[in-house]
Amino acid sequence: MKTIKDITTGGERPFFGEHDLQLENCTITAGESAIKNCRNITAIKCVFEGKYPFWHVDGFNIKDCLFREGARAALWYSRNLVMTDTLVEAPKMFREMTGVRLTNVRIPDAQETLWHCSDITLDNVEVAHADYLFMHCADIRIKNYRQDGNYSFQYCRNVEIHDAVINSKDAFWNTDNVTVYDSDLNGEYLGWHSRNLRLVRCKISGTQPLCYCENLVMEDCIIEPSGDLAFEDSSVDATILSEVTSIKNPRSGIIRVKGVGEVILDQFVKGPADCKIEILK
């Protein structure tokens, strides 16, 4: 493997078409597409300042690097990425990618990040300003995760999350096969129009959670008092270890709950309208 160390370069495509290349302690300044149509690239302690530094790359390892704000849309149309111990200040990262592994990564401006990606693993990752994160992604595994940003995980499928704090309005809309363990889910309108959403030992807050769900499963969860008007038009099998402020028009299934402030069944309830509500002793 060829190694290039301790240089500053920029401009248009300085490393176009390279393969089996290691960059150490390099700075990529203003310009476009520094590392394009490449394969088997390693970057260690590098700083990326120009736009689109990694496009159409197959096999790359990024360690202890910094992507400044100007390095927007940095990793697109690529596959087989391993990124560790890295700070990403640039928005709109990771598009149309397969095989994304992030460990010990912070993304303080994660707006419109991770779109149309698959085979994703995150461990000890923190994101902020993360509106529209994970749009149309699949096969995601996450643990030790912190997120601030709305409209996340929309249209995702095959997702497993452990030990997370997710602050997000409209999270998990129109998802398929999502399971969340031991996490805090904070935000309005959680999980609407989802299919096969399973929540295990989760704490939930925010108005009108879990409406219009198909095959919703909840195991030993807690719903905070802000979680009112829950379960409208949902098929549900839930065990909730707290009182719920209000339940509105659940469609079918069973809800086992410590207590309910109000059960609303009005003319808008949809058939079969046979959901059972059992009070836990």
Convert the pLDDT of each residue in 28-41 to its tens digit. Answer: 998 889 899 999 99
Residue in the block written with tokens 């689109």: 52
Phi first, then psi: give them for residue 45, nearest 5 degrees.
55, 45
Nearest to 137 by CA among 94, 197, 199, 193: 94
- Residue 127 pLDDT: 98
User: Can you tell me the distance from the alpha carbon of 237 to that of 100, in angstroms, rounded to the nearest whole number?
Assistant: 33
Q: Give the CA dihedral 250, 253, 254, 255, nearest 10 degrees.
A: -40
Rounded-to-integer distance, Cα 57 and Cα 149, Å = 28
* pLDDT at residue 18 greater than cutoff 90: no
Q: Which amino acid is at 58?
A: D
CB 152 within 8 A of CB 133: yes
Amino acid occupying residue 145: Y
State mean pLDDT over 247-256. 98
Model confidence pLDDT, tens digit, residues 149-180? 999 999 999 999 999 999 999 999 999 999 99
- Confidence at residue 167, expressed as pLDDT on a 0 to 100 scale: 98
The average confidence (pLDDT) of the chain is 96
| pLDDT score recorded for residue 7 | 92
For residue 252, what are its two tokens?
A: 């079918």
Question: Is 143:120 a contact under the CB 8 Å cutoff?
Answer: no
> What pLDDT does 31 receive?
84
